[in-house]
Chain A
């Protein structure tokens, strides 16, 4: 918000307003429907299906990066795809988060011996949550979103800490 331009980002007014906005953000995390590989069947398609129904957490897919909050890197990222992943991340509006889904996206997985494959998507974009598994079950992705929600809530504490030190 623009409040920090007026009052500074250590003001109590700003911190309390951000706490309110974080509460709202954490309850409507829209992820980008960007399926790279196998993980997209579990993390994007089965997730939006009736069994797992991410919609009840306010987690819903968007086709356009301009409307998305969360980038799920669901699959192996190679050198040709790296440019696309970075570009999509840059196109997303702030605040934005990245969930690295699956072994390929975390470390290169079963394909890490191949020189074309990135050894983890964190070389390209800052990752907030890593999900292990090959592929992770949809429940794991659900848990990742719950963890991400906790991480967003914890930002208020971090701001208060910064205020105590700097303010």
Chain B
């Protein structure tokens, strides 16, 4: 049963060619390169014909390459269509929607304390962040007071989850740049983070732990012990990663000066999180609009002007160090006494109106905008994923790079397609 008649790498595979407006077509001017006769109706964009102005003076054609959604170098269900001149990327176009499953629409039919399950599956690498953003939106709208103890627990699990997500980014970045070993070590450390989360929340990935008004389970001794055991080793682990991957000269040669996101582009594309901070925008929600327990913690935010993958790596590596610093402070403070969840009715009804709640997720500002008409479900929920904005940047910065560098720069944005397609 062979249904696939064309080859994906074929120049004639123009089903998804970029910019196929009717004025860009030139139907029968193809005899020079197509043999023996062009079948009627097959057209190629004008931009695919290369001019003989390259140094080699060859009149070769541009090449359309479909990267993904099943491609070893693509992270997640993304189809990136690139146009190549030799090995140079001329244009790049992202095709999304391979994971669209209606999270925003389904949320309109769920009660407020069950939307967290959908938020988990949206931002699946850092479930706590999505749940927390939703909880903050609901608490802003309903003016719900959150107990101190709940804020402490939320901050701890969020930072542990941020560590787990950063490991999941740095390891595959090493894979993309040709380093297999560091990936295995980072998976080891990620398991330590997930063990802590499992002991506290009961699940490795889909927590459904942070609910409006607090958290589901109280802080327990097993989670505390696992967190302490991890924190004992964490600094040593980070030094190992520095020696194995980030401090390596081979890695420097791959990432320095590659995937440059200029400061103006980061501003105009609404970049947040580590992309913004690596392009000179000094902005971190944890410091600038404090929530949770962050106003009681002492931490630094690293902002660099490097604008390349190397700057992003340094910013994220520093975030990991700061997370460990924060976790150590939090453990030293200990959980404040009191309840871990506010007293709320079983069916939560919010007043009419709208509210926005956001957290500094692992990849940028993760926000939820709720519009309520007074029922037990939202009238509309808008999920603001940071990666959707960064995907537009990744599209824009790829042209002009070698294909291998473009793949590395796609990887450096840390795509998570549950968020983009929703």
Q: Which A residues lie at the B interface, using CB under 8 A?
A: 32-38, 41-42, 45-46, 48-51, 63-65, 75-76, 78, 80-81, 84, 86-88, 90-91, 104, 110-111, 113-114, 116-117, 134-135, 137
Contacts and interface: CB of A to CB of B under 8 A. Distances in A.
B76 interface: yes
Enumerate the 4 nearest inter-chain pairs by beta-carbon distance, A residue then B residue, closest first: A49-B187, A63-B72, A38-B124, A114-B102
Interface residues of B, number: 36
Nearest to B195: A51
Contact of B188 (A38, A51, A88, A104): A51
B199 interface: no
A90 B3 CA distance: 8
A145 to B, nearest CB: 19
Interface in B350-393: none
Contacts of A37: 77, 99, 121, 124, 417-418
B70 A88 contact: yes
A84 B121 contact: no
Interface in B112-136: 117-118, 121, 124-125
Nearest to A42: B205
B188 A111 contact: no
A110 B119 CA distance: 12
Contacts of B99: 36-37, 75-76, 78, 81
Interface of B: 1-4, 69-72, 76-77, 97-102, 105-106, 109, 117-118, 121, 124-125, 168, 184-185, 187-188, 190-191, 204-206, 417-418
Residue from A38, A81, A91 with most neighbouring chain B CB atoms (10 Å): A38
Given A49-B187, A84-B70, 9 more contacts: A34-B70, A37-B99, A38-B124, A45-B168, A46-B187, A51-B187, A110-B106, A117-B102, A134-B206
Contacts of B97: 80
Nearest to B121: A38
Contacts of A75: 77, 99
B168 A116 contact: no
Contact of B98 (A51, A80, A90, A117): A80
